[in-house]
Amino acid sequence: MEAVEETCPLRITATVQALSSALRGEHVSRPGKGVGMFPNPEKLWFKESSAKNLRNRDFLSPSTMINTLYADGQVPPAVLSRVLSLRGPGVLPVADGEMMSEGLRVRVDHAAAFKAVLSGGAVDYLGLSSHTKGCVVINCPALHPKPSPPTPDSLTIGQLRTVLLSDHMGALLKRQGFAVSYCPTLPEDSEILPLLRALGIDWPAAAANWTNEEREKKMQEALESSPYREKEMRRSSGGRKSEEQQEEEEEGGALRINLTRVFQEEGLLGYDPSLGTCTVHRDRVSHLAQLDQSVADCTVTMVTTLHVTSCQDEFRQQQIAMLWRASGAAYTQILFICPVVHEHAFVADSCRLRRGQMKEASEMKYGNQVEGQTWSDIIKVMTSATVRFELLSTVHTSPVTLDVQREGGVPTKGPRGGAFVMYNCARLHTLFDSYERGVEKGLYPEIPEGSQLDFSALKEEGEWLLLFNYIIPFSELLDQSGQVLDCEEGGARVNIKTEQICRFLVTLSKDFSSYYNRVHVLGEPLPHLFNQMFCRLYLLKALRELYHSALDTLHLPPIRQL
């Protein structure tokens, strides 16, 4: 068994990089001696994930890669020896490997990996960062007054999607060490706040009598003195005028800013060439003042503003971004754009219907037990989970189609969404409650320290799958959220894979459910069975903490009983 650097968390990326280096070896720089053209190192190896393939290998370098790297398609013995003796910080311990028709396969030393990850409680695998990386202001235009504040009966489901995305991205970035500020600040008496809080969204609020007049005055003055201010108003000649153009012509003396000059002269890429000249209305000044206030709340100097909006409002938000730039704000601004949501109801109606469906499904399963504050809280969380998974499980660049009619219903059973995830999280809590009751009755001893256990007892294929596909990769999945604030090809848009956490939780719940239904974790209270039971409890305790950590990025509290 290979020794493992237990002080350094195991990482899939570090292992793949080490395997690639070992396989390339010295031969990469000597193409004249039987070595083919050097392939992309990221494609030399890939991690297996299916239960079928994990029975005989954990990593594979396909034969096509071997043939590209070595002209005769044979890995030299010295290179193979280097691969099999692989060690290093964060590298999974290699047990064995061999050439097969599919390529070079490598198996990890499962017992050593289980011990390295689980004996310390798996805290290094939950994706928490203690390093401050900068400040991100997340601006959600759907919550700005335009000109009246949003209400549950006026907010569309498409707009709610942008709010949920803002909330989720903020949670992801916080876990990666970013300070996060949200914009706009809502008045405490806003009608939309109770609905947001019911969905687990803790949006910033100020006293009902709070005003931002001083900052609005400041922004107005900054725009009036902007070098991009139009000295004379350009009137359109002929043709059908839009409502906005008509308003602008009626306000002949209004302040106007040439937005095209802003992004052209400051070298900003990705903005619509037709932005042209924009009249500065009061609601735009209010929007800019809110942004200015949010930036002022940041305690670090490196600030990025992330505008989260729908494709219908992208043009308007580009105007706001360039107006802010014209006022002298030199902060990095990026756009996160969502396509339409095809729905047939506003948020209030949709949430009311989903809550009714959750209550009905609970009553069908648990009968008269479904009453009182505890069940009210459970149904509230289940409703929030259902709405969030419906709107966040789809890639943000794709439209979402919802059927909010009772006939279509919402998936409350099966591996298809939030309710399924929350149910399986509750099963873990029920399991540990059962174990604690067994300890109180004297059936089981207390769980010993992980260093006292023999983790080679974890032989069931579902156990390795849970560790290798979920517990070990989770922190790397979260790491990606902090690495994507760079815009696509230097443009104004950013692509964050906001669907990954929801999909991760759904597939995790499928595999955990399969394992839980197949394996009896709390076995007979016989001493010779305790080691295996304790090893499984260590694994499932890490899995429970993983659920909590992932659900926390969605602001969903775990349900501890069902």
- pLDDT, position 36: 44
DSSP-derived letter for residue 415 is S
Contacts of 478 (CB under 8 A, 6+ apart): 127, 172, 175, 176, 553
CB atoms within 10 A of CB 163: 24
Residues of the chain with pLDDT under 50: 1-6, 26-37, 236-239, 241-242, 248-252, 406-409, 412-415
Residue in 303, 361, 314 with CA at minimum distance from that of residue 136: 303
Amino acid at 485: L
Distances (CA, A) of 38 to 27, 71, 79: 9, 11, 15
Tens of pLDDT along 375-388?
999 999 999 999 99
Which helix (H) or strand (E) segment is 134 a member of?
Answer: strand 134-139
Q: How far is CA 313 from the centre of its chain?
A: 23
Q: What is the pTM of this model?
A: 0.88
Angstrom distance (rounded) from CA 293 to CA 84? 57
**Cβ-proximal residues to 445 (8 Å cutoff; 6+ apart), any chain:** 439, 530
Return the DSSP state at 72.
Answer: T
At position 356, the amino acid (one-letter code) is G
Q: How far apart are CA 198 and CA 202, in angstroms?
A: 9
Q: What is the pLDDT of residues 304-350, one digit of tens each?
A: 999 999 988 999 999 999 999 999 999 999 999 987 777 656 788 88
